[in-house]
Amino acid sequence: MSSSQLNLFSFSGNTRILHFTWFAFFLSFVMWFNLAPFKESVMAAFDLTDQQWKTLLILNIALTIPARIIIGMLVDKFGPRIMYSALLFSSSLLCFAFAMADSFEMMAIMRFLMGFVGAGFVIGIRMIGEWFPAKTVGVAEGVYGGWGNFGSAAAAMSLPTLALMFGGDDGWRYAIASTGVIALIYSAIYYFNVHNTPKGSTYFKPKKTGAMEVTSKNDFYLYVVMNIPMYIALAVLNWKLGPANLGMLTDTASTAIYLILFAMFVYQFAQIWKINKHIFTEEVAEIHRYKFKQVAVLNLAYLVTFGSELAVVSMLPGFFMDTFELTQVLAGTLAAGFAFMNLVARPGGGLFSDRFGRKKTLMFLLGGLTIGYLMMSQITSGWIIAAAVMTTMACSFFVQAGEGAVFAMVPLVKRRMTGQIAGMAGAYGNVGGVTFLTVYSFVEPATFFMVIAAAAVVTFAIIAIFMEEPEGHIAEVMPDGTVEMIEVS
């Protein structure tokens, strides 16, 4: 079956699984971003300062970095069916708790824990990878990611109206709680209507859990190095919440968190060594090898694509409002065009990847992304607003199509570790968001856009030099010890 034969109007076979799974991801994003539309209501209800509101937004993404790593390991071990159901169920309870919060501290704790729902993305990557063959997995992953990502825009458009329907000062509470009710119901629907693999297929699991398996000494060192930026991003978040910035944490608490992060890195290194120390004394059979540099390149590509999307979505309404002296409502509406592109751009990136090759497509899209951000750096008050919006949407197409191209390749690296690979790439997306938002806090918007473009150029060069097009088959060990060859091209 070619990618052009994927019938999205069907509700049978693997397309049925795709629809059930993208909607699970959609709900996870609705819950993750159900706070954003209620800035005025929440600030008025608790008499929050602007800094406290920004603290809630930062806390909302803080836990997602380690959560995507953890969820990636768990989904490889237990399967996406039970993991998605469990995530939706537990996240619904957090929604209820946030809606009933009676203090800023309670809201802050619940928002921090809600960061875990942002890890739902990696669960579906494994599910779609199991159900779709190599020739169609790109467009299928793109539909899953793009339609699911649209949950953030859907929350922004629908929840304020829902709050008005409930009425009163507590309308926002009922609106947020309603997203938890839907997720709670859907967690059962998902569990009873999907399976981890097609009938007769094997669900491959990692031989060991606790860290990703690598198959050479150089890959071991690269894997350790690639873990460092995730801890640095968490340290930056701690710094932003500390007494020198937002003041959410005391000096003692901030220092304690730095020590905890260091201890976590040491523990992670110990786990990596425990899982992979055998490669220093014995050769891994050629048939079982894979190249971790493929994972590293995809991590960096997702840092630039999804990381820049997270950052730009956060600042774009304010940028439009300040540049063109627009009202908050109009600026937010125009900025929503960036998120709208997810519906077509991310599936488009997957489709291009299926048809024209993984490496070539990713390089082309990163080139377009670079030009797009350079164009956005030139936007001034002298521009026609329509031209600024069109430039933004054109840039966002390459950004989100690039995200689709990244995850068109993720399931083709090593099947039994797809969840872990997706988790690490997904975490790097959040690392990018933290990095670019930190840059934005120090520079003007034009420089901010140029920094992203520069990061894209560096990533383009790395892909050109180090990325390899998946070809032939990869070997996976069956539960009975036999080897099955899985097509990747």
Give the pLDDT confidence score for residue 4 in this predicted structure: 45
Q: What is d(CA 300, CA 295) in angstroms, rounded to the nearest whole number? A: 9
Pairing of strands 483-487, 473-477: antiparallel
| Contact present, 411 and 129 (Cβ < 8 Å) | yes
Domain boundaries, given as residue ranges, for the chain: 3-487
Three-class secondary structure of residue 100 per DSSP? coil
Give the pLDDT confidence score for residue 486 in this predicted structure: 61
User: Which residues, 6 or more positions from 334, have their beta carbon under 8 angstroms from its beta carbon?
Assistant: 320, 326, 385, 389
CATH number of 3-487: 1.20.1250.20
| Among candidate residues 433, 87, 72, 54, the one with its CA nearest the CA of residue 236 | 433
| Per-block mean pLDDT, blocks of 10 residues, the chain (489 long) | 63 93 96 84 88 80 87 92 97 96 92 91 92 88 90 83 87 95 98 94 80 93 95 89 81 94 94 94 86 96 94 83 81 78 89 92 97 96 94 94 93 86 92 88 91 98 93 56 56
Q: Which tokens is 225 given?
A: 């190095």
Burial 198-234 (b: 16+ CB within 10 A, else e): eeeebbbbbeeeebbbbbbeebbebbbebbebbbebb
Give the pLDDT confidence score for residue 428 in this predicted structure: 95
Per-position DSSP letters for 45-88, written without gaps between them: HHT--HHHHHHHHHHHHHTHHHHHHHHHHHHHHH-HHHHHHHHH
pTM of this structure? 0.85
Give the pLDDT confidence score for residue 314 in this predicted structure: 75
